[in-house]
Structure 1
Amino acid sequence: MSKILIVEDDNEIAMLEKDYLEISGYETELIQDGCKVVDAVLAGDYDLILLDLMLPGSSGYDICREIRDKIDIPILMVTAKTESIDKIRGLGLGADDYIAKPFDPAELVARVKSHLSRYERLAGGDLKKKPALDTLAQQGTIQIGNLKIMTLSYKAYRGEQEIKFPNREFELLKFLAMNPDIVFSKEQLFVKIWGYDYVGASATVMVHINRIREKIEEDPSNPKIIETVWGAGYRLNA
């Protein structure tokens, strides 16, 4: 049974999330103080976090940044802040998705299910560990200049230096690398990687592409590997 951490200081919303998730077969735990979240995540055994942004003690942005630096599990921000800049900031800090209040509880459960399934598939059944496939390191390798993408072991190297990617970023890079010289729109990439249609698809993909570029490009402001095709989308140049 997957265990969901609900971080929400509004008791009515927290109980709504808790009830719907538990009815859907998930185990839940609730924290309402932002200062307690990071320690609880590192000490606990959670499979996904529903994270409010406006919390007492510590903001959801700071919590997301600190968690993402330490552990790779799905983080879904649930908040009343709906401006594009707020969404882009959250996604840029490593959040996997953004759910605006008020929300349809059925949609929230569907998003949770989708993210859990995708992370589990990427991690080979363990949400918190990359698959141990070092013996297959020479298989499924894509070389682009000095960038090496190992599609089976979910590792990437720039020269001899390993690059650390959250699962979602690696899956996006892997998909583009396995489909080189093809232009994909932001909406197409979102459906391919996130698995469903979503009104915030364009901003989500843009943020993740920029984060990937910062790690793989010699000059992220003038990318050569992942190129923007204006008015069309993105293309990985092989």
Structure 2
Amino acid sequence: MPERILIVEDEDKIADVLRDYLASSGYETHRLARGDEVEGWMRHHGADLVLLDVMLPGKSGLDVCKALRLFSGAAIVMVTARVEEIDRLLGLELGADDYICKPFSPREVVARVKAVLRRGRLNQAAGPGERPPLPGGLALDEAGWCATIGGRDLGLTAVEFQLLRVLAAQPGRIYSRDQLMDAMYRDERIVADRTVDSHVKKLRRKIADVLPAQELIHSVYGVGYKLE
């Protein structure tokens, strides 16, 4: 059976384009135009992924996301024209798997949908208590504070290992700089935002020395970083 995508979008033209592109990629689609219709529909029908606009009549996308996470394991991708960082982070902290900013390319949406669903399948295949394989053949030895790719030690500092460990805990999840700083510096010291950027730059360089043809750590403009 094809995977089912629920499109929650009140703008007809955008919804029609998304439906056409997703259907042509083999997905079954359904569209709702109001936020207050989503919970009842999902309880009755269910979906593999919800493309959820933030600004909706009836109920906001953020409130819908929060409600869905109380009973549904469906992947959620937020779609927003509101670019303020707080809206993006709030959506992710409520349980969204990814977000896309308007205006967007329909092909980008299809690619992001495929990536999120693929992560979900990997997590299911791994089984309870098991981790899915990390991108690029990356392996972490938490007892020895050592990260390797293809058996080659990356030579990370303690802070760099902590940073990579957090990103690798949930591949594909977007972490804000604040979240990464909290994980890297547990002694509550005052650290500038750009300190994280500096550590990411060094970490990318060490990964590139071993894996030059593939970028594992991706920047998400205005939010932070993810491993994918």
The TM-score bracket by the shorter chain reads: 0.5 to 0.7
Q: Aligned in 2, Cα 1:48/1:100: closer, same or farther, shift over 3 Å?
A: same
2:15 pairs with 1:37: no
Q: For residues 52 and 207 of structure 1, what CA distance do their matches in structure 2 show? A: 25
Q: Which has the larger radius of gyration?
A: 2
Q: 1:151: which partner in 2?
A: 130
Q: Say whether the 8 Å CA contact 1:4–1:46 is kept in structure 2.
A: yes
Q: Say whether the 8 Å CA contact 1:61–1:90 is kept in structure 2.
A: yes
**How far did 1:184 drift?**
5.3
Q: Aligned in 2, Cα 1:23/1:184: closer, same or farther, shift over 3 Å?
A: farther
**How far did 1:92 drift?**
0.8
Output aligned runs, 1:195-234, within 5 Å: 201-203=174-176, 231=196, 232=199
TM-score by length of 1: 0.61
Q: Say whether the 8 Å CA contact 1:21–1:28 is kept in structure 2.
A: yes
- One-letter amino acid matched to 1:93: L
Q: For residues 25 and 208 of structure 1, what CA distance do their matches in structure 2 show? A: 37
Q: For residues 49 and 178 of structure 1, what CA distance do their matches in structure 2 show? A: 35
**How far did 1:208 drift?**
9.0
2:121 pairs with 1:120: yes
Q: Say whether the 8 Å CA contact 2:65–2:95 is kept in structure 1.
A: yes
Residue deviations 1:145-176, cap 9 Å, x none?
xxxxx327x9xxxxxxxxxxxxxxxx9xxx99
Q: For residues 209 and 122 of structure 1, what CA distance do their matches in structure 2 show? A: 26
Q: Say whether the 8 Å CA contact 1:73–1:119 is kept in structure 2.
A: no
**How far did 1:179 drift?**
3.9
Unaligned stretches of 5+ residues in structure 2: 147-160, 189-194, 204-228
Q: 2:95: which partner in 1?
A: 94
Q: For residues 82 and 190 of structure 1, what CA distance do their matches in structure 2 show? A: 26
Unaligned stretches of 5+ residues in structure 1: 126-130, 134-149, 155-170, 196-200, 214-220, 224-229
Q: Aligned in 2, Cα 1:112/1:207: closer, same or farther, shift over 3 Å?
A: farther
- One-letter amino acid matched to 2:119: R
- Counterpart of 2:172 (choices 175, 178, 194) is 194
TM-score by length of 2: 0.63
Output aligned runs, 1:69-88, within 5 Å: 69-88=70-89
Q: Percent identity?
A: 36
Q: 1:163: which partner in 2?
A: none
Q: How many residues end up aligned between the 2 structures? A: 171
